[in-house]
Structure 1
Amino acid sequence: MKLTALFDDFFHSEKSSGLVLMGCTVVSLVLANSVWQHEYLAFWDYHVFDHSLSHWVNDGLMAIFFLLVGLELEREVYIGELSTLRQALLPVVAAMGGMLVPAGLHFAFNHGTPTQAGAGIPMATDIAFALAVLSLLGNRVPVSLKIFLTALAVIDDLGAILVIAIFYTGSLAWTNLLIALGVFGILLILNRAKVRNLIPYLVGGIVMWYFMLHSGIHATIAGVLLAFAIPFGNGDEKSTSYILQHFLHKPVAFFILPVFALANTAVTLPADWIHSLVEANSLGIFVGLFVGKPLGISIFSYVSSLVKLTRLPDDLSMGQIIGAGFLGGIGFTMSIFITLLAFDEPHFISESKIVILLSSILAGGVGFILLNRACRAKSSAEESLT
């Protein structure tokens, strides 16, 4: 199985972004707990046009991130790794397990408590971090595993988008929402009229984002809608969708996501932060990411292949699926993003960020170890047969 050029470009940009994200996270945590703590936190709280810088990052820059996610998803569905039922079914089923089981575990710990709304936090997978860890294994990683994990993470992002739209929407300002949807409808008409110039779509996207921002639905949803309004054509290098997607890869990977990491991992560790790890919300997030993710992904993959609903690629073992499941437990960007939507209480937000970081580090470490062993075992077994 060969990787397409665009998928290979996506894989390498995402894994490099993950390494940058790791560095930004460390820098942010150090600064937030250093003698420059006050200045660093004040910087992200600096207000521009009645909103803090961190708010502009989360509601503005992240809309561009979701635009890229939408473009990636559109490509995968039309001509990529999710374009046929046979290719798509395994990562789709695995992603469902990887979302339902973690959410169920968090809900079990927090049902009827003020932190019940955090059930969506452990559902998401951070594509950049997961692929960065996978890249550390080098050429021993089979192509099918790269495709499986990438498709799984993309579907996870789609799940996160739906969760945000359905469960983390407050009271609706219907006039603003209808205007935003009206702009979306106009962009779809331009698409059908075969207008290929990007400018009207980008201008319309900004207008749609503005009204979505004031509608009660999170503004990042505008990025996803814009992605599906932009003409895809046949998906070649001259298509409007490809041009924008290719342009956005590096700015998102090496600017937007690192800035998001800097803004949202500026967590000051209180003296008793270890005690907060045993609170219901923390336990729900940790068990969801570190146990629920690999458990859901592995069980759903195994059972679906057992009943012949899906089929594991010949070069992929269940040991590698389990290892990939742990990499799916690296929530980071998306988990932190959902945290900001789920809670208003600073204590819950800070507590959640800390446990997300710890859970993601542990899940990534265990996933790396298991995949390293599984890939070696697979290579040894293949060598013994030759």
Structure 2
Amino acid sequence: MIERKSLIRQKIAIALGPIQAFFRYEASSGILLLFFAVLAMILANSPWAESYESVLALKLPFAPAEYHLDLSVLHLVNDGLMAIFFFVIGLEIKREFFFGELQSLSATILPICAALGGMLIPAFIYVIVNAGGAPEAMAGWGIPMATDIAFSLGILAIVAQGVPIAIVIFLTALAIVDDLGAIIVIALFYTSGFSAAALFGGLASLGCAFFVNRKGVKNFIAYLIFGLIAWLFFLNAGIHPTIAGVVLAFAIPIDRHHPERSVLYKIEHALEPWSAYVIMPIFALANAGVRLPGDISALLDPIALGIVLGLCIGKPLGICCMVFLFSRVLRLSLPTSFGRWNVLGSGCLAGIGFTMSLFIASLAFPNPEHLATAKLGIIAASLLSGTLGALVFLLAKGRSSTNETNMQ
């Protein structure tokens, strides 16, 4: 009996290993991300603001403009480095579908439904707030749909120590599904200067990557070459080139029987620290710099207000409604740790859009004024959502301690 219990514990530890490792990476990188976001805001509101903006506007020397490679530093970060970031996200999504919390429909239906609620209601709120306003403002409807994994898990790790692993898994899976939804939104709705020929070239390159996967090729160089070609084609097709990174990730070989030996596992673990500790902080430094207004009246602009209401109210509302529908209406059982306060806290933390919201905003608003307003709304909403989520989890922790004391 004792040996059987020991074996069960070992299996549970093996199953939770990837989730806990992912949680540690994202949680610690969230702190670093916050530092560089604050640094960007300080630079944008300091005497060095012009120098900061000039560096971001610098273009690559000797890059051929006919292939759209004359990228500025800002575009090199958003189109180049973020392709690696999205590639890592794609690897994480594929791993979760094969070995993690998304491998069976019964295990994924809750975070998938919660993520859908957390995307649709914020987008609806944004549209309602901006209805009848400037037509170009409507392009920002995708901004409040996003969740920043690093920030949300970072705050969860700081304020909710000892939180049930089921909540960590729920928030992680929800954020991953949310990222997948945001990627689909970017691919379908945030494109410009579309070229069918270039798109065909990019898809053909990615098709070659899947073909060599079928042939059992395990050398990553082959996939890297096809990925770079697809990135260049997508850049010239009007499709955001980061999509090439996501699709390429699904072509990377995975070993169902020995996942730790697979190409996907090795690449993910090699790139995850670079993505978490280098690429995301650089992205924050390049994109979070926004000039703060003298008063808060700028937050009453429909663009900023729609983002704040969508992330701070729409996110938790959509997630909590879906969990309620899942448990009460459909009569499906939930883990015992899914108390109302833990679910509400997770919904609030999911309202931290930051990285993905800033990314979508940069695609939605070519107008610098609208982009600055959107960035202000994203930063305000992320700060407010993080604070609310932290308070809810601290309250839940206090209530749990009180109940335990009363039981004793």
Question: TM-score, normalised on structure 2?
Answer: 0.91
- Aligned-partner Cα distance in 1 for 2:73–2:192: 22
Q: Map Cα deviations across residues 249-301 of structure 1 (whole Å, 9 max, x no partner).
A: 10000100000000001212344x63221111111101000100011111111
User: In structure 1, what is the equivalent of residue 48 of structure 2?
Assistant: 36
Q: Secondary structure at the match of 1:47?
A: coil
User: In structure 2, what is the equivalent of residue 10 of structure 1?
Assistant: 22
TM-fit CA distance, 1:385? 5.0
Give the 3 Å change call, closer, same or farther, for CA 267–254 of structure 1 in structure 2: same
- Aligned-partner Cα distance in 2 for 1:311–1:241: 33
Give the 3 Å change call, closer, same or farther, for CA 277–138 of structure 1 in structure 2: closer
Q: How many residues align?
A: 385
User: In structure 2, what is the equivalent of residue 246 of structure 1?
Assistant: 269
TM-fit CA distance, 1:138? 4.8
- Aligned-partner Cα distance in 2 for 1:383–1:156: 38
TM-fit CA distance, 1:309? 5.7
- Aligned-partner Cα distance in 1 for 2:404–2:319: 25
Asked if 1:265 is matched to 2:288, the reply is yes
TM-fit CA distance, 1:142? 0.7
Whether the 8 Å contact between 2:160 and 2:394 is mirrored in structure 1 is: no
- Aligned-partner Cα distance in 1 for 2:344–2:25: 24
Which of 44, 48, 60 is equivalent to 2:80? Answer: 60
Whether the 8 Å contact between 1:130 and 1:364 is mirrored in structure 2 is: yes
- Aligned-partner Cα distance in 2 for 1:318–1:102: 21
User: In structure 2, what is the equivalent of residue 125 of structure 1?
Assistant: 147
- Aligned-partner Cα distance in 2 for 1:252–1:348: 28
- Aligned-partner Cα distance in 2 for 1:248–1:317: 35
- Aligned-partner Cα distance in 2 for 1:228–1:140: 34
User: In structure 2, what is the equivalent of residue 237 of structure 1?
Assistant: 260
Which of 183, 194, 209 is equivalent to 1:172? Answer: 194
- Aligned-partner Cα distance in 2 for 1:270–1:16: 31
**Structure 2 counterpart of 1:119, one-letter code:** W
Whether the 8 Å contact between 2:102 and 2:173 is mirrored in structure 1 is: yes
Cα RMSD of the aligned pairs, angstroms, is 1.5
**Structure 2 counterpart of 1:238, one-letter code:** R
Whether the 8 Å contact between 2:126 and 2:306 is mirrored in structure 1 is: yes
Whether the 8 Å contact between 1:86 and 1:310 is mirrored in structure 2 is: no
TM-fit CA distance, 1:111? 2.6
Give the 3 Å change call, closer, same or farther, for CA 90–383 of structure 1 in structure 2: farther
Q: Secondary structure at the match of 2:337?
A: coil
TM-fit CA distance, 1:41? 1.4
- Aligned-partner Cα distance in 2 for 1:269–1:316: 39
Q: Secondary structure at the match of 1:214?
A: helix
Q: Secondary structure at the match of 2:211?
A: helix
Which of 217, 235, 243 is equivalent to 1:221? Answer: 243
Which of 84, 87, 91 is equivalent to 2:104? Answer: 84
Q: Map Cα deviations across residues 205-243 of structure 1 (whole Å, 9 max, x no partner).
A: 111111111111100100111000111122622101001
User: In structure 1, what is the equivalent of residue 67 of structure 2?
Assistant: none
TM-fit CA distance, 1:67? 0.4
Name stretches of at least 5 consecutive residues in structure 1 with no aligned partner.
Answer: none
TM-fit CA distance, 1:137? 2.5
Question: TM-score, normalised on structure 1?
Answer: 0.96
- My pick for the range that moved more, 326-335 or 302-311, is 302-311
Give the 3 Å change call, closer, same or farther, for CA 27–77 of structure 1 in structure 2: same
- Aligned-partner Cα distance in 1 for 2:245–2:403: 46
Following superposition of structure 1 onto structure 2, how do residues 328-367 of structure 1 map, counting pairs within 5 Å?
328-367=350-389
Whether the 8 Å contact between 1:236 and 1:242 is mirrored in structure 2 is: yes
- Sequence identity of aligned pairs in percent? 44
Asked if 1:27 is matched to 2:39, the reply is yes
Which of 234, 250, 268 is equivalent to 1:212? Answer: 234
- My pick for the range that moved more, 120-129 or 275-284, is 275-284
Whether the 8 Å contact between 1:19 and 1:132 is mirrored in structure 2 is: yes
Q: Map Cα deviations across residues 135-167 of structure 1 (whole Å, 9 max, x no partner).
A: 012532110010000001000000100100111
Whether the 8 Å contact between 1:196 and 1:231 is mirrored in structure 2 is: yes
Asked if 1:135 is matched to 2:157, the reply is yes
TM-fit CA distance, 1:308? 2.9
- Aligned-partner Cα distance in 2 for 1:336–1:42: 20
- My pick for the range that moved more, 353-362 or 37-46, is 37-46
- Aligned-partner Cα distance in 1 for 2:270–2:305: 40
